[in-house]
Amino acid sequence: MNNLYAVLDKNVAYLKKLFDNSSDFTVRYLQTKSTRCAVITIEGMCDKEVLCTGIICPLLKSDYPETESVRDLLSFMEHSVLSLAEVSRLETFEDVLQNIMSGFAVLLIENCSVALSIGVQGYSYRSVAEPDSELSERGSREGFVEPLHINMSLLRRRMKNPKLKLETMVIGDISHTEICLCYLTDIVSKSILENLKERLQNIHLDTVLASGYLVTFLEDDNEYSLFSGVGITERPDTVSGKITEGRIAVLIDGTPSVLIVPYLFVENFQTMGDYSYKPYYATLIRMMKYLCFFVAALLPGIYTAVALFNPELFPEQILIQLETSIGNTPFGLVTEILLVLFMYEIMREAGLRLPKSLGHAVSIVGALVIGDTAVSAGLIVAPTLMIVALTAIASYVIPDLYPQLYVLRIGFIVSGGLFGIWGIVLLFCVLTVNLCGKSTLGVPYTMPLAPFKLSGMRDVIIRADWKFMGKFRHIVSDTP
């Protein structure tokens, strides 16, 4: 690390050389009553009014004591001149660069190899609002935004506990992205925390622009699974709840998506809305989500397997209608159902990418092409269309698992089309073994189902009353 020089012009020249005369790199020279100094900022990253009233004006108007030591002068400026709350000392160029590019102003003084970093951040950012992807009927209407320190304040406001620790790190060899680990020191597992820190420190990426950049590095090695042991959310209340269970939240500067580790399979079926209703209603909704998971993953495959290998399982009237319809279509059943899934996925991607004003056009075209024209032309049978529509709707009940369900759906269709019901059973057994063998940071992914933990079952298939749930300790914090 290169230390600062004692010559002001030499420090400024070195920084200008690093930025290669970038237009947003600004230097404001000041001649105070005692010395010459410079204030360095990045245009657009700081509040100019705060910069003027909190730094420049006090420096120019203050009466300085007579002192022979420049360090004493620096100390006087730090404690008696500057009127802003965030003031710290910097001794290296690396620290200076990190601070000015984070919105701080850096004060350099003649004949002094120590600089002052002053908090004057004032860049624009999106206002705090409810995330579109995680709506809650009765929960909070706040969601994370892009600036890291705003997200940290959203957590601190919900958890007024000194045990909540916010620990910052910098990753990315080029982007130097700031991240923050959030956890409760008296609940979190020390081994899990140390393991996570070690993995983050060993990440060697040029840039970290989104939360998805880090997910692969936080998974356990040598795992081949569709499912992820790292949760992603944009809701501060969800993160606060997970932290009280011994989890660790990873906030990333520049993205509203927060990572939660470790993350369990059963948590994909839990939402904040479940805890705002009476236990009986929340339990029914939870059961419906599990049912939708199996419907979305297995129904097309079972339909294909039964239609091709065991048609006698259908009722007689449905069987006659189905055989007549399939006989009049030009494609095989497996090809047909995969074609419909492919067309649906095209429309879904188009709806996500198009402006909202054109979204209704995709719905109309999809209804005409798939729902009416394809069936009328004899390209697709009506039962196939109904099966695909039902599985698509069921998969949206568990949005966190949509990518995994899409891949599983295709796998079960192909397996059922080739080997019938036995192919479905075999693939389901492989999936179950894979889930039970998966772990994240040493925590089994299928807890508390496997290994079974009775106290954890209070919030898996059923959602117990809060009076009962509060009697047990947390799931993950007990894991060594």
| pLDDT range class, residue 450, cuts 50, 70, 90 | confident
Shortest CA distance to 399 belongs to which of 210, 145, 213, 134? 134
CB 86, CB 121: distance < 8 Å: no
Q: Which residues pair with 87 in a beta bridge?
A: 118
Q: Which residues fall within 8 angstroms of residue 376, CB to CB, at 6 or more apart?
A: none
Please report the pLDDT score of residue 360 as a whole number. Answer: 62
Q: What angle do CA 292, 296, 297 make, to 5 degrees?
A: 120
> What's the whole-model pTM score?
0.86
Buried-exposed string 169-181: b where 16+ CB fall within 10 A, e elsewhere: eebbeebbbbbbb
d(CA 150, CA 56): 26
Please report the pLDDT score of residue 479 as a whole number. Answer: 47
Token code pair at residue 162: 């000194």
User: So where are the chain's domains?
Assistant: 8-119, 148-274, 279-436
CB 109, CB 76: distance < 8 Å: no
| pLDDT range class, residue 198, cuts 50, 70, 90 | very high
User: Exposed, middle or buried, 155 (CB in 10 Å: 0-12/13-18/19+)?
Assistant: buried
Q: Helix 402-419 crosses helix 382-397 at what angle (to 10 degrees)?
A: 140
| pLDDT range class, residue 1, cuts 50, 70, 90 | low
- Give the ranges where 101-173 is alpha helix by DSSP (H): 148-158
Please report the pLDDT score of residue 325 as a whole number. Answer: 67
Please report the pLDDT score of residue 257 as a whole number. Answer: 93
Q: Is the pLDDT of residue 122 over 90?
A: no
Q: What secondary structure letter does DSSP report for 92? A: B
Q: What secondary structure letter does DSSP report for 222? A: T
**What confidence tens digit (pLDDT) does each residue in 147-180 have?**
998 999 999 999 999 999 999 999 988 888 999 9
Token code pair at residue 394: 């069921």
Task: Report which secondary-structure segment, H or E, holds 119.
Answer: strand 115-119
d(CA 409, CA 407): 5
Please report the pLDDT score of residue 478 as a whole number. Answer: 46
Within 10 angstroms of residue 453's Cβ, the number of other Cβ atoms is 16
Lowest mean pLDDT among 343-357, 388-402, 425-439: 343-357
d(CA 22, CA 112): 25
Phi/psi-derived region of residue 442, left when phi > 0, alpha when psi is between -120 and 50, beta in every other case = left
Shortest CA distance to 405 belongs to which of 248, 290, 326? 290
Q: What angle do CA 154, 126, 205 make, to 5 degrees?
A: 80
Work out the average pLDDT over 273-285. 87
Shortest CA distance to 8 belongs to which of 37, 51, 31? 37
d(CA 128, CA 146): 10
Q: Which is it for the CA torsion 295, 298, 304, 310, positive or negative?
A: negative
